[in-house]
Structure 1
């Protein structure tokens, strides 16, 4: 009799738990952007003759991704994201992100915020894009994005991130592990060490009644032991059809003079990879521990205006200053300006036209790239984008 009672009790318990699982709500969302454009730039190429090409992302980097959410009850949800980047012009995975640009899993509480683990956007990128992005309908222009050069790579591997929001205030903290992928732990040069970054940082932002403002800080230790302090602050204002924004960012490299020259040189190469590149302004920071700049600052101001329900226009200006170079060859300034017009055929499909111009001045090494010594460049971009 007792045995029968125990069996019935266990059966009821199992059925009860199955019932609670049955009521749990789960969703899987597929999303993405397909963007292609024709872009012409002056003073590009070995003989400065200019270059016309199709780019696999003009306004946005093309991507597809999966968002997962499961309701666990009591205001708790499981969340996950996978996002892959690709080049629309060739169909290949993005050269900068050959696998998943984002890959994380976490828990979200309706009362206590969320914690996520994996490869994710870092604090600097999160704060700028959510609070004082260049464009209200797209955080930045992928083919020309000087501000991203100040974001320390925009993403971090091996990251723990905690984010909480209380009314108009949001705060977030991050920490990422280098997992021993450093010169100090390995004891020798190994290709690919740029992934061994240790980061720690956070931000606070306020957003209410059309006003948004925030400040963020990120400390990064590069594979050779060099430390970089990066921080940003800024704000935006929306009033009807008008959008105004301004921001400041700084990257400061702390010399790792006690490390072998190979370590220092590789760290400088990693930092220059963040700072340079034709899409993010691209003026050179120096490649040797003896001459490289160790500080870069940028201010930005801009506006956007919704001319009609379908037509958006925006104009943005960025000014950067680079200093700390021994001998001064890589001390200098750069000015960036971009104007964009965007026409929406629907909520998902739009066409855009953009003109950008870059000018550098200063030491002999302050040029746009290392191939032709150009100090000025103008770009024209015409493209089409679809979001799903």
Structure 2
């Protein structure tokens, strides 16, 4: 009997020890049909050409949640300390290919320690500005990637992650929390080349929530936009392209600013809950400074600083527990750079999301955008809804019907 009791006791201790560690497999599958009234196919002689487009596409390009699978693990080390890790891989449902430029764990890959005071993690991660300000945007709550500010100029829809980074996120103290990140440039002989740092803070209350943050990236063409396997060195434009006689341009809103020595993003957001409705507002300022440096190509000979200021006012409403409706209006303004007169972008977002179950939903999104002025490629500004091929004119409409499943 003593031997049996001893065996059961040891078995119980082993089970308790095992229960203190966990690994979770999780993911999202999000695919749907896209339509745009006009999309570029080429830019022969500097004049965009194209036509309407209807396509099957993964949500990475335009939808609510880019398809992914991941592993999340935690081990209790005692005394309130835990070891944690996340490995998260993005992929395209319509082709099966890796997203994030072909990176195996391109969405997130980090390891760290968590305590009652906060969490320290190391690896490829989201920056704190995304963590604290994205929840107040239309794109971060119901409008998906196509609801980003033009070409996601302020990265609030998380187009770019941060490699080689150390990140701290504090615990929540009475609704207040904060975070900071530093990414090592790793360049011999220069501490600051290719480095990135960011700070952010927020407050979450019963009705009112607030967030603000600041990010500074040196040599952003390489450090910020060039950190996936399909990107190149400083001699390549890792932001976008002016297109050619056989290919369309990409990211025309700011692709011409690859030579910037610094990228600075400052953003603030707020939301207020009114029963079944939540009103959100965001303002962001994106600065491509010291244009003309050796950080990237500069075919248009830009100097000085390109400054984008974006405003986002959005509303989401749940008439029933199963249905969410959303609308937002975005306005983005860029200053004059060189001989151009600057650019303006006005965008309207509409969306509806219906839950078939706790894990599966159907949704519909529509974005209308108008561009004015001269864009970064030195041409009359064309509309460029994030995730779609740019328009050939100053107007563009994008529509998506999608289905999403979480596991």
- Indicate which of 362, 380, 395 corresponds to 1:376: 395
Give the corresponding residue for 2:186: 179
* Contact kept? 1:265, 1:288, Cα under 8 Å: no
- Going from structure 1 to structure 2, the CA distance change for 1:233 and 1:119 (only over 3 Å counts) comes to same
Written as runs of structure 1 = structure 2, the 5 A alignment for 1:60-71 is 60-71=65-76
Residue 36 of structure 1: SS of its match in structure 2?
strand
Written as runs of structure 1 = structure 2, the 5 A alignment for 1:146-161 is 146=149, 148-151=152-155, 153-161=159-167
Q: State the 1:60 CA deviation.
A: 1.4
Q: State the 1:45 CA deviation.
A: 2.9
Written as runs of structure 1 = structure 2, the 5 A alignment for 1:338-377 is 338-363=349-374, 364-368=379-383, 373-377=392-396
Q: Partners of 1:153 and 1:292 in 2: how far apart? A: 25
Give the corresponding residue for 1:8: none
Q: State the 1:104 CA deviation.
A: 0.1
Gaps of 5+ in 1: 1-14, 186-195, 269-286
Give the corresponding residue for 2:196: 199
Residue 290 of structure 1: SS of its match in structure 2?
coil
Q: Partners of 1:374 and 1:292 in 2: how far apart? A: 28
Give the corresponding residue for 2:5: none
- Indicate which of 82, 86, 93 corresponds to 1:88: 93
- Indicate which of 324, 343, 347 corresponds to 1:312: 324
Length-normalised TM-score, structure 1: 0.79
Equivalences, count: 333
* Contact kept? 1:24, 1:72, Cα under 8 Å: no
Residue 167 of structure 2: SS of its match in structure 1?
strand
Superposed CA deviations along residues 179-211 of structure 1, whole A, max 9, x for unmatched, are 128xx97xxxxxxxxxx8411121111111121
* Contact kept? 1:129, 1:139, Cα under 8 Å: no
Q: Partners of 1:19 and 1:94 in 2: how far apart? A: 40
Q: State the 1:256 CA deviation.
A: 5.2
Q: Partners of 1:56 and 1:155 in 2: how far apart? A: 19
* Contact kept? 2:122, 2:167, Cα under 8 Å: yes
Q: Partners of 1:255 and 1:365 in 2: how far apart? A: 24
- Going from structure 1 to structure 2, the CA distance change for 1:334 and 1:291 (only over 3 Å counts) comes to farther
Give the corresponding residue for 2:211: 214
Q: Partners of 1:109 and 1:265 in 2: how far apart? A: 41
Superposed CA deviations along residues 60-99 of structure 1, whole A, max 9, x for unmatched, are 1111111101111111111100000011111111153532
Q: Partners of 1:140 and 1:113 in 2: how far apart? A: 31
Q: Partners of 2:125 and 2:149 in 1: how far apart? A: 21
* Contact kept? 1:293, 1:324, Cα under 8 Å: no
* Contact kept? 2:34, 2:398, Cα under 8 Å: yes
Q: State the 1:23 CA deviation.
A: 6.7
Match status 1:134 vs 2:134:
no
Give the corresponding residue for 1:28: 23
Superposed CA deviations along residues 203-255 of structure 1, whole A, max 9, x for unmatched, are 11111112111211111101467012210011011232111100101111221
Q: Work out which structure has the larger RCO, using CA pairs closer than 8 Å and 6 or more positions apart in sequence.
A: 2
- Going from structure 1 to structure 2, the CA distance change for 1:233 and 1:144 (only over 3 Å counts) comes to closer
Q: Partners of 1:74 and 1:371 in 2: how far apart? A: 54
Superposed CA deviations along residues 320-351 of structure 1, whole A, max 9, x for unmatched, are 0111410015x110011110011100110000
Q: State the 1:24 CA deviation.
A: 6.7
- Going from structure 1 to structure 2, the CA distance change for 1:31 and 1:359 (only over 3 Å counts) comes to same
- Going from structure 1 to structure 2, the CA distance change for 1:31 and 1:305 (only over 3 Å counts) comes to same
- Indicate which of 243, 249, 253 corresponds to 2:288: 253
Superposed CA deviations along residues 280-304 of structure 1, whole A, max 9, x for unmatched, are xxxxxxx634279611110000100
Match status 1:241 vs 2:244:
no
Gaps of 5+ in 2: 1-9, 42-48, 223-233, 235-259
- More displaced, 225-234 or 49-58? 225-234
- Going from structure 1 to structure 2, the CA distance change for 1:243 and 1:62 (only over 3 Å counts) comes to same
